[in-house]
Structures are given as C-alpha cells and as structure tokens.
Structure 1
Amino acid sequence: MVEFSDIKGFTFDLDGVITDTAKFHEAAWHDLADDLGIEWSAEIGNHLKGISRMASLDMILATDPQGKQYSQEEKQQLADKKNAHYRTLIATVTPDDILPGIKSFLDDMLDKGYTASVASASKNAPSILEKLELTSYFVGIVDPATLTHGKPNPEIFVKAGELLNLQPSQIIGLEDASAGVEAIKGAGQTALGIGSAAKTANPELWFDKTENLTLNNIKKQLSV
C-alpha cells in the first residue's frame, strides 16, 4: 500500500460520493419502465448504479417479459426521454444536496495543496457540480463522450488521473459502487470505497459514510 505522503490528488465519482443524484436517476428510469409496461424492482435500481445511460436502458429492456426488441434509434429516443425527465429533476439541486462531510473534505484538500478531478459516467456532471457550487474545486471533469468503455473498465479513472498530471500511485480514487472500485484499481490508483456496495470490491481504504471522510482518517488507514 502507498504511503500517505505519496498522495498528491484525488479522482472523484459523483453520484453517491459528492451528492446523491442516484435517487433522481432511479425515479426517471422507474417512470420510463412504467411507460413501457416493465415492472420495476429494487434489484433493477441497485444494478443501475455507476453504469452508463445506454447500459442502464439495455438492462431494463432485458427484463421486459414480452421481450420486445428496439432499434438503436428507438433506444436512443428512450434514453433521451429518460434524460430529459432526469434533467427536470436535477434542476432542483442546490449546495444543500452535497453529501455530509464532502464540502469540508474538499476545503481541507485544497488548503493542503491537493488537486482533484471528476470521473463520472454522467453527461450531466458539469451542470450538477455548477448547481452544487463545487466546480472550482476540480481541475477537470472527464467527458463521457470520449470513453469507449464503462466501469468496471478503468478507462474513466485513467483519464481522470491524466487530468491531474499525476502518476497513478499518487492518486486516491473515491467510489460508492463496486464497479467503480474495480475501475480505480485497474487504473493503478488507490481505491477508497464509501458505503456497503463499495466494500464488496475490497478497496484499499473504506468508510461507511461520507462524513467520516477526512485527510486525517485516510492517513490513519494508510498507516495501519
């Protein structure tokens, strides 16, 4: 395991780490499933976390008991419909929606000279960060349009690390999903998992909730 003194930057997932927009994603997908006559379940909702829009749509359509087939154009229309609904929901986001402890962690991180970037599969990440008033904390956001693979492929965290201009061994990646933790590990960064879902992928560092995330607590775990 790396030494705390080696760490110079952080790559952040967005949903479930900085804010919880997963509830908006789930509401929008749930409504789309209802429109298509597909029965929704909590299991579907859990499996959608951390994966791309089209992958999420394919997963939902695969549960259709009628097995209806859609063309790529029809799928794109469905995905666009879901995203339009999602964007109306996230329009209500404010700085009050930042998860507990994250703002103070970001403040301390910048004060101590660390840099950070965002590795989110969401094309809405820039607008969400703007509504949270957190844009200035990050040197950049990976553009999902430049990605060939989704998590657990490490591509997005590799690109997030490149935005920091640091070596992977100098970076800690933060995730709340097992696929994301696997992606961080694959990118050669130190994985910090938050919550029970992330723990299943055995991250090097782990916190049960965001309010326990501090530089001092990270240092303690790396020193064990």
Structure 2
Amino acid sequence: MVKFEDIKGFVFDLDGVIADTSVYHSKAWHQLADELGVAWSDDLAENLKGVGRMDSLNLILKTGGKENAYTEEEKEKYAAKKNTNYLSLLKNMNASAILPGISDFLKTLEENDYRLSLASASKNSPLVLEQLGLAKYFEKRVDPTTLKHGKPDPEIFARGAEVLGYKPEQCIGIEDAKVGVESINAAGETSVGIGDPKILHEADINFTDTTQLTLANIKAAMKVGEH
C-alpha cells in the first residue's frame, strides 16, 4: 500500500458515498421492473449499485429471463423512462440527503489542500451535486458519456485521477459498491469501501458507514497497512 503522505487527491463515487441517491435509483428501477413484469428483490437492488443505465436495464431483463424480448430501440425507450422517473423523484432531494459526516469530510479535505474529483456513472450527477449544495467541491468531474467501459473496468477511476493531474497511486478512490471497489483497485488507486466488509472485502480500507470516513481514520488505516 502507498504511504498516506503520497496521497494528493480523492476520487469519489456519488451514489451511496456522498448522498443516498441509490434510494431514488432503486425506486425508479423498481417502477420499471414492475412494468416489465420482472420480480424485484434485495439482491437485484444490490447488483444494480454503481452500474450504468443500459447495463442495469439488461441485468433486470436477464433476471426476468427477458434478455431477448426487446429490441435495442425499445430498451433505449425503457432506459429513458427510468431516467424520467428518477429525475421526478430527485426534485424532492436537498442537503438532508447528504450522508452523515460527508459535509465535514469534504471541508476537511478542502482545508488540507486535497483535490477532489467525481467518478460517477450517473449522467445526472451535476444536477444531484447542485441539489445537495456540494458542487463547489467538485470542479473536476469525469464525464460518463466519454467512457467506453463501465465499472468494474478501471476506466472511470483512472480518468478521475487523470482529470486532477495526478497518478493513480497518488489518489484514494471511495466507493460503496463491489464493482466500484474492483474498478478502483484495477486503476491502481487505494480503495476505501463504505459498507458491509463481507461484500467489500477487496477494499484496501473498509468503513461500515460514512460517519467513519475521516482523514484521521484513513491515515491510521494506511499506517497500519505499512507495517
């Protein structure tokens, strides 16, 4: 593991790390799954975390044994419908959706001159940041429309370091999804997983929730890793 002193930047996922937008995504996908006649489950909801829009739709269809039931054009329409549902749910979002401890963590990073970027697969992330009042922290963002591969491919987190002008080993990536942690690791960054350590066991550092996400805790965990 790299030394804490070598870290210059932090690359953030959005859903489940900065704010609980996954709730809104789940509701919107659940609505669409019902319409498509696919049974919704906690496992399906978990597997959709951190996954792009079309990949999510294909996963839902596969789960229901309907992967060949629709043309690409029809799939595009369903994906667009999900997004419309999601955006209408988002209108109710405000700073109360920011996960516990995140506002303080972002302030601390800014005060200590770390640079931050956003690596979210969501095309709506700029809108979400505005709604939350956190856009000022994330001047650098990865544009998901420019990516060729979704998580767990390293592309999005590699780009997250690149937009900051840093090497991957100078950055810490923060994720709450298994595919996201795999993406961070494959990009060569230090991974922090937020959530169940059984699911996120591949993370270099694991915190069960965002209240534990502090610079001091990351420093302590990296010092332990050096020995």
On the 8 A contact 2:93/2:132 being kept in 1, the answer is yes
Report the Cα distance in structure 2 between the residues aligned to 1:143 and 1:110, rounded to whole angstroms.
Answer: 22
CA distance in 2, matches of 1:71, 1:9: 42
1:6 aligns with 2:10: no
Give 1:104's aligned amino acid: D
Task: Indicate the residue corresponding to 1:168 in structure 2.
Answer: 168
The one-letter code sitting in structure 2 at the alignment partner of 1:159 is R
Whether the 8 Å contact between 1:205 and 1:221 is mirrored in structure 2 is: yes
Counterpart mapping for 1:45-194 below 5 A: 45-65=45-65, 69-194=69-194
How far apart are the structure 1 equivalents of 2:198 and 2:54?
22
Aligned to 2:210: 210
3-state SS in 2 of match to 1:164: coil
CA distance in structure 1 between the aligned counterparts of 2:221 and 2:89, rounded to whole angstroms: 37
**For 1:120-165, what per-residue CA distance to the aligned partner results, in whole angstroms no more than 9, with x for missing partners?**
0000000000111111101311111101100000000011111110
Given the superposition, is the C-alpha separation of residues 85 and 111 from structure 1 closer, same or farther in structure 2, using an over 3 Å criterion? Answer: same
Q: State the distance in 2 between where 1:184 and 1:67 align.
A: 29
User: How many residue pairs align between the two structures?
Assistant: 224
RMSD across aligned C-alpha pairs, in angstroms? 1.4
Instruction: Using structure 1 for the length normalisation, give the TM-score.
Output: 0.96
Amino acid at match of 1:176: D
Contact 1:139–1:164 (Cα < 8 Å) also in 2: no
List alignment gaps of at least 5 residues for structure 1: none
Structure 1 position 199, deviation (Å): 4.9
Compute the displacement of 1:66 (Å): 6.2
SS at match of 1:62: helix
Which one is further off, 189-198 or 137-146? 189-198
Aligned partner of 2:219 in structure 1 is 219
Q: TM-score, normalised by structure 2?
A: 0.95
Q: Per the alignment, do residues 198 and 73 of structure 1 end up closer, same or farther by CA in structure 2, a change over 3 Å counting?
A: farther
